[in-house]
Structure 1
Amino acid sequence: MSASALPVPPLAPPRLRRFASMMYEGVLLFGVVFLAGYLFDTLTQSRSGLMLRNVRQVVLFIAIGVYFVTCWRRGGQTLPMKTWDIRLTDRGGRPVSTGRMLLRYVLLWPLPLLSALLIGGIAHLSGWPAIDTLIVLAPFSIFIWTWIDPQGQFLHDRLLGTELHDLRSTLT
């Protein structure tokens, strides 16, 4: 087999496009969280976001998970991923199983939550409550691994054998 006939590994989408997709995702998730919260408040007759707080968090976690898994099952893309030409597949380029999608969603959370905990701890230890505003940076901690990974994939994708593909690189 000649060197030119070797399969070319798929390119991961550039970080800037993944970031843009993530920002767009946040806008859509506002609607998902609003609707889930509204239904929760209506069904439980909650008058405050602090009422049944732990149950509310579980319901919102599930609602967001349902959104992602439902979208990923339809071609491996959410609307922002379609907009930015990004697709989720397994390492062979095949669709991801539902079980792996669920696990991917769960494994998305530890790094941002640990980052948020670290930021909160630093704010508490330093006595500077203004440091708490850095909490908005916690979700972006998932990008740290992309500078270490040889293909630029996220850590949760590397662990699960899934990949994000840059569809623009396959068009040219």
Structure 2
Amino acid sequence: MSASSPASRTLAPAGLTRRMACWLYEGIVLFALMMVAVLLQSALALLLPALNHPALLQATTLALWGAYFIYFWQRGQTLPMKTWRITVLDAQGRPLSRARALTRYAFGWVWGLPLLVQLTPWHLTVQALATALAAWVVLWMAASRLHPQGQFWHDAWAGTQLVQAA
């Protein structure tokens, strides 16, 4: 085994402050990708008005975000992760497979759990939803302190880890 193989190097977990700064930066990238989804749907809706439906926009956005994350996580980093010097690896310290990246994407939606209330008959006001989402993010961040390596729980469930990039 060479000295540079994943199993032989020490993987230092990325700190919470760095991970949250990256998370905010990812939000900016996701907003831009959502604008691409809106542009695509708007162009298609001009040709076929039946495609002008909010559910289609939501599905397009989720698919576009998923493609973005899966593509870049398989390569170890998104642009915000490069900026904040964070790499995503599997539990053994190897790059993510497509299936592992998809699993991480699915489990990553735990960040948005309060948004699910909007799918129920009990809709919240924008202020109440923002407050619930902010409280949930703070709780989810705090819960990472309970993980032995300080990782987020969705990473533990997906068999992934965020480490400091070399």
Contact 2:114 2:133 in 1 (8 A): no
2: CA distance, partners of 1:135 / 1:41: 31
Tell me by how many angstroms 1:34 deviates: 0.4
Deviation digits for residues 74-93 of structure 1 (CA, Å, limit 9, x no counterpart)? 2x100110111100111221
List, as ranges, runs of 4+ consecutive aligned residues in structure 1 with deviation greater than 4 Å: 117-121
1: CA distance, partners of 2:35 / 2:116: 25
Contact 2:88 2:161 in 1 (8 A): yes
Deviation digits for residues 36-70 of structure 1 (CA, Å, limit 9, x no counterpart)? 11111111239xxxx41112111100000111111
1: CA distance, partners of 2:82 / 2:98: 19
Q: 1:80 to 1:115 in 2, by over 3 A?
A: same
Amino acid at match of 2:53: L
1: CA distance, partners of 2:96 / 2:27: 23
TM-score (structure 1 length as normaliser): 0.76
The alignment covers a number of residue pairs equal to 155
Q: How does 1:42-121 map to 2 (within 5 A)?
A: 42-45=43-46, 51-74=52-75, 76-109=76-109, 111-117=110-116
Tell me by how many angstroms 1:71 deviates: 1.2
Q: 1:10 to 1:119 in 2, by over 3 A?
A: farther
Contact 2:18 2:84 in 1 (8 A): yes
Q: CA RMSD in A?
A: 3.1
Percent of pairs with identical residues:
34
TM-score (structure 2 length as normaliser): 0.78
2: CA distance, partners of 1:21 / 1:90: 19
Contact 1:32 1:64 in 2 (8 A): yes
The aligned counterpart of 1:29 is 30
